[in-house]
Amino acid sequence: MDVTVTSSRVHGDADAPPSKSYTHRAILAAGYSDGARVRNPLDSADTKATMGAVDAFGGSLVEVADTLEVAGFDGRPDVPPDVLDCANSGTTMRLVTAAAALADGITVLTGDASLRSRPQGPLLDALDALGARAESTRGNGQAPLVVEGPIEGGRVEIPGDVSSQFITALLMAGAVTDEGVEIDLTTELKSEPYVDLTLDVLDDFDIDAERTADGYRVPGGQTYRADEYQVPGDFSSASYLVGAGALAGDDSVTVHNVYPSEQGDSAILDIVERMGARVDWNRDEGTVEVEHASLSGVEVDVGDTPDLLPTIAALGAAADGTTRITNCEHVRFKETDRVDAMATELAALGASVEEERDTLTVHGGRSDLTGTTLSGHGDHRIVMALSLAGLVADGDTTITGAHHVDVSFPGFFDTLYDLGASVTLD
C-alpha cells in the first residue's frame, strides 16, 4: 500500500498510541510471572510477535477490551513447539532470545528479511558465556538463531553501542536464573533511556535490578509479580504528531496521552521548542499543545534517542538554516539504515543533505521541497517522517510501503487525516 500526502495544514486534537517499548516489556514481564493484566497495550504487528512468543513458551493471552489477560509461564518457559517467527520486530527477537536460554531444550528463532539482517552477535556471545548454546545458523551473528538452555546466570561482558535491547534481554531473563546476571559494558552505552525504561517495568513487576559502576546487575531467584500494569503513551509515535503541528499547524495541534515516563524520546518536545515552535506540556493532564512557527535548524545528539532521527531530519528539511544530527551511527542498525534512508529520500524531495558515518546534516535554508515518489524502505518510522515532509512539500508526495506504520502506529494516517491533512491511501 502507498500513501500520497499533499501540502496541507493541520489542527485539532490527536491521541498518541500506547508505547511500543513499554508494551513489549510489559507483555514479556507478564509472561515471566504466573499471570497479570496489561492495560492499554499497543496492538501492533511488533507487539503481536511478542504475544506469540509468550504463547509459544507456555503462557496464554486473552484480549478483553483494552486489556490483555496474561497467564504466564512463571519464570520457566517451555521449549516452543515450532520455530519462533519474530516477524519484523527486533525487540521481540532480542528479548525472546534471552528468554529462550531459560528453556530446557532448543529454540529456533527467525524473522523477515529485514530482521534477519540485524546484528544479534553480542547477545549470542553473552548467552554462550552464561552457559547456553547460542548461535547464528549462518555464522554471521544474524538470524535464524538457535538457542539451547537452560542458563543458571553469571557475569558477562557486552558492548553497549550496538543495541540497548541486549542489556534489557539479559536483565529480564537474569532475574529468574539461579545466580542472577551481572553485565559489564565494554563500550559506552547508547540509548540508555531504553534500559531505564526496562528498569521501570521491572520495578513495577517487583524485580530488583540496578546500575553498577561497570554496567548492570540483577539478582537471581526473583519472581515477577503484578496484578496489573498500565502502558503509557508513546513519545516516539507522538513525535510525528508534534512535528506535524510544528511544521504545518493551522493554529495548534494538541496531542493527548503523553504523560511523563522514562521514555527518552520525550526530548522531541525540547527539540521542536528549540527550533522555534511553541510547546506547552501539561504533565498532569498528559497533553502537549504545539503551535506552528518558522523553524530554525539546531544540533541534536541522538545517542540516547535514535528513533527521533527521522522526525528531526524531516523537520530540519523544512527549517531555516542547518540541522545537524550527531552520534547516530547506531541508527543504521534498525529496520533499515535510517541515516542513509532519510538522506536519500529527503534529497529526492529537494533537500540539501550531507551524510557521514556518525552525522546527518540537513541544510533546510538551501532546500526547496517538491513532492515526488519516495521509498518508505519498509520502515514505519521512515514512512511517518517522510509524511511530515509531504505536508510542506509543493504538490503531491507519494510514499511506498505505507502499511508498515502498523508496526508501531496502526492508525497513523487516519489520525493525520482527522487533523486535516490531505492523505490518500492506494
> What is the set of active-site residues?
307
What long-range pairs does 331-334 form, CB within 8 A, spacing at least 24?
Answer: 331/302, 331/306, 333/118, 333/119, 333/162, 333/163, 334/90, 334/118, 334/306, 334/379, 334/381
47, three cell numbers:
507487539
20 marked among binding-site residues: yes
Q: Distance of alpha carbon 198 from its chain centroid, rounded?
A: 13
Q: Helix, strand or coil for residue 176?
A: coil
222 marked among binding-site residues: no
CB atoms under 10 Å from CB of 356, counted, come to 12
334 marked among binding-site residues: yes
CB atoms under 10 Å from CB of 14, counted, come to 24
217 marked among binding-site residues: no
Q: Distance of alpha carbon 316 from its chain centroid, rounded?
A: 21
Instruction: Classify residue 73 as exposed, middle or buried by CB count within 10 Å of its CB (0-12, 13-18, 19+).
Output: buried
Helix axes 20-32, 192-204, angle to 10 degrees: 40
25 marked among binding-site residues: yes
Peptide bond before residue 122 is cis, with ω within 30 degrees of 0? no
338 marked among binding-site residues: yes
246, three cell numbers:
510544528
CB atoms under 10 Å from CB of 178, counted, come to 11
21 marked among binding-site residues: yes
Helix axes 90-100, 45-56, angle to 10 degrees: 10
Q: List the binding residues for 3-phosphoshikimate.
A: 20-21, 25, 163-165, 191, 307, 334
Q: List the binding residues for phosphoenolpyruvate.
A: 20, 90, 118, 165, 338, 381
Q: List the binding residues.
A: 20-21, 25, 90, 118, 163-165, 191, 307, 334, 338, 381
